[in-house]
């Protein structure tokens, strides 16, 4: 995407995510050709949509589409994602059974069949499963607005042997982690905007509270974290390695928790009420951090790998 296309695309996405959510946002994304953009310019499609979706606290089926696109399975919809906190494929083939434990957007409930990526022996396969043979539980959880479904089931495989998938799970996972990291950054920026506005307008001791260093330094620290996540995302798009994508997801998750803590403290009483929108972003970042591996588990995995190999990952070159 070059020249004037990108700002135009961004404006269209901004409008769609600000006005629509859920099924309506899916329809809007279809109409504006987001799926085509995902094929031709994945970086623009993923980074722009997910940052805006995070900022607007909107939901869509786009994360499943990112996985499906990378794996080359299904028509783009109906893909089951790993369960919360996990990152292995959501299915396992045991003898002639498929065991499924995963998550998905509410749009899965409207489909006749779902696509489950499953581990089978040493390989990874994609299996189309009729919806009635799976249990879809609407998730309330800490962020009910996310309208997730928990997908579980144990079903007998039909005679047809499951087909191998075109792409690699690790590549799809990396792209999915970049998407969620951008969404975390978008939600963090939204929290920071709310807190800064409050810090400028709220007067205490005859001064805006933003003139007190205790407040300023918390908010400055929040911006440092956000920009840090953006920088590592930039590096991850350049090298496209699963390792850098995992680092970006971990940094984005950790800084979002920091942003939530600082912004909630600055917004104080009003930020703790449901009259104020802050709680939506706090709830969203908690779930997004946990999705596809939270910051502590990804960070520990990185440290463990470096200790066993004795090799630090190379720094981004010029």
* 299 lies in the site for other proteins, by CB under 8 A: yes
* 203 lies in the site for other proteins, by CB under 8 A: no
Residue with Cβ nearer other proteins (58 or 267): 267
* 312 lies in the site for other proteins, by CB under 8 A: yes
Considering CB under 8 A, how many residues would be counted as binding other proteins? 46
Which residue in the set 25, 129, 251, 291 belongs to the binding site for other proteins (CB under 8 A)? 251
What is the crossing angle of helices 278-290 and 242-271, to 10°?
150
Considering the complex, what minimum distance in angstroms separates the CB of residue 231 from other proteins? 4
Which residue in the set 111, 212, 240, 258 belongs to the binding site for other proteins (CB under 8 A)? 212
Considering the complex, what minimum distance in angstroms separates the CB of residue 278 from other proteins? 17
Considering the complex, what minimum distance in angstroms separates the CB of residue 303 from other proteins? 3
Residue numbers of the site for other proteins (CB under 8 A)?
Answer: 192, 196, 199-200, 208, 210-213, 215-217, 219-221, 223-224, 227-229, 231-232, 234-235, 244, 247, 250-251, 254, 296, 298-304, 306-307, 310-313, 315-316, 318
């Amino acid at each position: 995407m070059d020249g004037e296309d990108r700002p135009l695309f961004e404006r269209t996405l901004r409008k769609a995510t600000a006005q629509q959510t859920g099924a309506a946002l899916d329809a809007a994304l279809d109409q504006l050709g987001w799926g085509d953009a995902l094929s031709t310019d994945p970086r623009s499609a993923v980074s722009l949509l997910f940052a805006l979706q995070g900022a607007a606290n909107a939901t869509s089926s786009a994360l499943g589409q990112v996985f499906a696109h990378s794996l080359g399975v299904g028509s783009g919809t109906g893909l089951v994602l790993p369960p919360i906190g996990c990152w292995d494929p959501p299915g396992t083939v045991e003898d002639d059974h498929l065991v499924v434990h995963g998550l998905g957007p509410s749009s899965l409930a409207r489909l006749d069949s779902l696509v489950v990526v499953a581990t089978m022996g040493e390989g990874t396969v994609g299996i189309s499963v009729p919806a009635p043979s799976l249990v879809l539980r609407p998730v309330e959880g800490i962020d009910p607005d996310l309208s997730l479904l928990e997908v579980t089931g144990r079903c007998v495989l039909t005679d047809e042997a499951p087909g191998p998938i075109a792409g690699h799970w690790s590549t799809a996972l990396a792209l999915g982690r970049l998407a969620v990291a951008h969404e975390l950054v978008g939600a963090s920026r939204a929290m920071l905007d709310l807190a800064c506005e409050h810090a400028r307008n709220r007067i205490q001791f005859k001064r805006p509270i933003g003139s007190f260093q205790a407040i300023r330094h918390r908010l400055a620290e929040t911006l440092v974290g956000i920009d840090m996540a953006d920088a590592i995302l930039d590096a991850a798009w350049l090298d496209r390695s699963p390792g850098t994508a995992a680092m970006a997801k971990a940094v984005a998750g950790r800084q979002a928790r920091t942003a939530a803590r600082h912004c909630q403290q600055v917004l104080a009483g009003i930020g703790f009420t449901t009259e104020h929108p802050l709680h939506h972003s706090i709830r969203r970042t908690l779930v997004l951090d946990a999705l596809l591996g939270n910051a502590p588990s990804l960070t520990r995995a990185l440290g463990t790998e470096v200790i066993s190999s004795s090799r630090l990952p190379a720094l981004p070159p010029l």
